[in-house]
Amino acid sequence: MPVPAFPAAALQFRIDVGDVPANRDRAVRWIAEAARQGAKLCVLPEMWSTGFAEERLLPLSGTTPEILHELRTLAGRLRIVIAGSLPERVGRGIYNTLYVINATGVVTGEYRKAHLFTPSGEDLWFRRGSSAGVIPTDTGAVGPLICYDLRFPELSRKYFLGGAPVLCVAAQWPSVRAAHWEILTVARAVENQAYLVASNAVGPSGPFRYAGGSVVVSPAGERLAALGEEEGLALATIDPAVVEETRRRIPCLADRNPRSYRGTRRPG
């Protein structure tokens, strides 16, 4: 059965490093506001409950099961799909994991961040994810990405090949590279003929300042809704029929020539 058009929201707020209660209150408040405005899909920023607390990540990750339980209850009560990244503890290691919670309150998929940003030392604090796939939801299939993943088109292309009409991006993208965020969010939408809902943190968090600019982009690269540097939500309508028409009119999938991509090697 085709999924009808629906409103989607990218939520943008400040993340206080290590202050789980304050971050949780902001997230719940903005999810409730998005639902009040009719959103059926909400995307939250990267590591929104704890921030990049580094040495404190292991104990702070212990709050994630409780946070997930509360989000599941909230999603079921508000009948809204929620996606966002949290620290996931596995043994003595931590993954930066994007959870997708369905409008029924069930976690329908998880994605562990595949590309760790080594210039800021993410590889020192996190394990690298090794698999990714399209995640089903009541609003249709979504392709999950976390921040730095935007710079790797292969991952978004996998979701395109898997038929996802929507890419969901959870990020803490710094102000110093805000121009790259603007370019890459549009590029990933256009090249994959998909909607993109990208949520970024805003303001100071630890030693960094985040750019905001949360956005909903159409398959044609139009910024349907976008924020500046204030807390808030970017809300716009997602229409899966537009994705189908875009892919029919410009048949990138049918026109791919995978044979020409094989055997590429890193210059050495």
Q: What is the pLDDT of residues 76-109, one digit of tens each?
A: 999 999 999 999 999 999 999 999 999 999 999 9
256 sits in the region (left: phi over 0; alpha: psi -120 to 50; else beta) called beta
First and final CA of the chain: distance in angstroms? 50
Query: Tens place of pLDDT for every residue, the chain, 268 residues?
Result: 789 999 999 999 999 999 999 999 999 999 999 999 999 999 999 999 999 999 999 999 999 999 999 999 999 999 999 999 999 999 999 999 999 999 999 999 999 999 999 999 999 999 999 999 999 999 999 999 999 999 999 999 999 999 999 999 999 999 999 999 999 999 999 999 999 999 999 998 888 899 899 999 999 999 999 999 999 999 999 999 999 999 999 999 999 999 998 875 665 5
Q: Which of 20, 39, 43, 80 is nearest to 168 (CA)?
A: 43
Q: Which of 40, 46, 88, 122 is catalytic?
A: 46
**CA-based nearest residue to 33, from 70, 80, 86:** 80
pLDDT at position 263, please?
Answer: 72
Q: Rounded to the nearest 5°, which phi and psi values hold at 147?
A: 45, -100
Q: What is the pLDDT of residue 217?
A: 99
Of residues 199, 239, 243, the one with CA closest to residue 219: 243
158 assigned to active site: no
Domains of the chain: 6-261 (3.60.110.10)
CB environment 39-48: b (16+ within 10 A), e (fewer): bbbbbbbbbb
Catalytic residue among 40, 88, 122, 147: 147
List the Cα angle 233/190/100 in 5-degree steps. Answer: 45
Q: Under DSSP, is residue 237 helix (H, G, I), strand (E, B) or coil?
A: strand
Q: Catalytic one among 40, 42, 88, 113?
A: 113
Give, in degrees to the nearest 5, the angle at Cα 64 between 162 and 232: 70
Is 42 designated active site? no
pLDDT for residue 49: 98
Quick one: pLDDT at residue 264? 57
Using alpha carbons, select from 253, 38, 50, 257 the residue that is nearest to residue 162.
253
Q: Is 40 a catalytic residue?
A: no
Taking each continuous run of H as one helix and of E as one strand, the counts in the chain are: 8, 13
* Model pTM score: 0.96
pLDDT score at 91: 93
